[in-house]
Amino acid sequence: MTKARVAHTKKKALVVSRRKSSAVGKKRFKASSGKYAQMTVLDANTASFGTDLLKVFRENVTKAREENMRLFGSADRAPDSE
């Protein structure tokens, strides 16, 4: 008896095509503190630069709001200093 093997190629092809259309990349580097950090890199010479920039901006706003919530208890602003 032979076994039937099925390959799922449609999902892989879609993922590859989506990755190629976006010019957003991530690079890891070692900061001056000795810890590794990650930076988002954009390619300005692509047709999708505007949407890529918007995507990175939204990610940065989300990270900043999470950090503010962790530090100050408010996502949008620091508490008033008196």
pLDDT tens-digit map of 17-72: 444 556 788 889 898 899 998 888 888 888 989 999 999 999 989 998 998 888 88
Does residue 4 carry a pLDDT above 70? no
Q: How far apart are CA 69 and CA 76, in angstroms?
A: 8
Query: Could you tell me the residue ranges of all domains in the chain?
Result: 23-72
pTM: 0.58
CB neighbours of residue 51 within 10 Å: 14
Instruction: Look at residue 10 and tell me whether its pLDDT is greater than 70.
Output: no
Read out DSSP for 25-37? EEEEEE-TTS-EE
